[in-house]
Structure 1
């Protein structure tokens, strides 16, 4: 996942609104959100078939949601490297990423949201930091919370410029949009002004500001936005919507709500 858009308002009936955008190679197979993990029957999320983990997990009973993004820093040694896809499962289940050998993980940003608090852990390959978010609108990308990269990065300058342009475009629009309190009904009705933003705000995938991406890499593989998740957390319930065809308004399905 390459972008997490989040609004935290403890005074709202629905304190947490989260948009999780996953960018991945288009030929990397995955399964849509469901209870895929028999050892964690209470968790819902999409499953990456290659590694078996997920990019975003929801525990409706907690309620809690967690998502992971690739980070900046020093990669783990290839021998013994673990998938980061277990991080959202651990965080959604327990509220922390404790229990994993960090030295075997590549850099990451892990967002864990509950109705009364939102935390972000960042691992650079050398240091782990934890930050609690204040109420407001927050954007987490591969270069960190609000694009403040805490470690060395090999991300090309053009990509860094694109990340900053994306934040500059979407932050004021999220702040200006009427904040929904998703409950019943189809996604468009439940999410209101937020849904067009989650669908890319009409930007072309080639636009540097684009939230939804699609391009051909130097190796001939397509790298694209493969899914978008919408999660709303309230003290008495969870709303979870999912699209496996980003940008297509007819593709939204309600996983929970």
Structure 2
């Protein structure tokens, strides 16, 4: 039940105008008993690849390599005819994506939403256990959780999407401050509230809570990714990226 906010820039007004980066905020919900490594270079065979590593399966929740970034959110869906022992980890999807290989066919994984950024383009690839769909995000501010992009049926999107749209992301260090202020406002809700972004999903039947967040700027020149961890899972504290 992670949450991602992504702002896709409009095309430059003329050929001489600078290219504005894609900006992204991602909040990770996971079982705190499942070990992970913070943002870093955990894959010796791929120098320059950075990510938040799942230590059990060796994959990544979020990763970046050159001008490509990918982050994965769980969604409902189970591939037909694939038993529990035959399922593959979704973490490998992120590593393949930043290497240039987007999901296709019929993955042997549970359902997912995959946000992919390549330079100044952003797409969402979704797998519901039956088919893969792919949507290129138009310029603007988009929000994604466990269903569809900008889905007003998702309470946290209905509650906070407009606030993220209104918040500024000015150039320079700390561009994320207004988005983090929206996160802080959202954290006044009980973490089990369906509208909450900083979450405790135990009352909903899932052992996952919000653990950490990343912010990123992605352009053709590369990705600048920052990491911050909550002091206590599911409980808000000011984040320093």
- Shorter-chain TM-score above 0.5: yes
Q: Which consecutive residues of structure 2, in runs of 5 or more, have no partner in the other structure?
A: 13-18
State TM-score, norm by structure 1: 0.79
Residue among 81, 105, 109 paired with 2:113: 109
Match of 1:134 among 108, 132, 138: 138
TM-score, normalised with respect to structure 2? 0.84
Call closer, same or farther: CA 1:10–1:92 in 2, change over 3 Å. farther
Distance 1:140 1:216, change over 3 A: closer
Deviation at 1:192, TM superposition (A): 2.8
2:136 & 2:181 partners in 1: Cα distance? 28
Q: Distance in 1 between matches of 2:69 and 2:161?
A: 21
Q: Secondary structure at the match of 1:91?
A: helix
Q: Is the 8 A contact 1:180 1:194 kept in 2?
A: no
1:66-145 alignment runs, 5 A limit: 66-75=70-79, 76-94=82-100, 96-97=102-103, 102-145=106-149
Distance 1:141 1:134, change over 3 A: same
Tell me the secondary structure at the aligned position of residue 160 of structure 2: helix
How big is the alpha-carbon RMSD for the aligned residues of Structure 1 and Structure 2?
A: 2.4
- Is 1:195 the equivalent of 2:180? yes
Secondary structure at 2:6 match in 1? strand
Distance 1:218 1:8, change over 3 A: closer
**Residues 120 and 218, structure 2, Cα contact 8 Å, conserved in 1:** no
For 1:99-248, list aligned pairs within 5 A: 102-147=106-151, 164-181=154-171, 183-184=172-173, 189-199=174-184, 201-204=186-189, 205-216=191-202, 223-245=208-230, 247-248=236-237
C-alpha distance in 1, partners of 2:148/2:69? Answer: 18
Q: What residue is the counterpart of 1:23 in the other structure? A: 29
Deviations 1:35-86 (A, max 9, x none): 1112222211111112111111111x2x111011112222442132110001
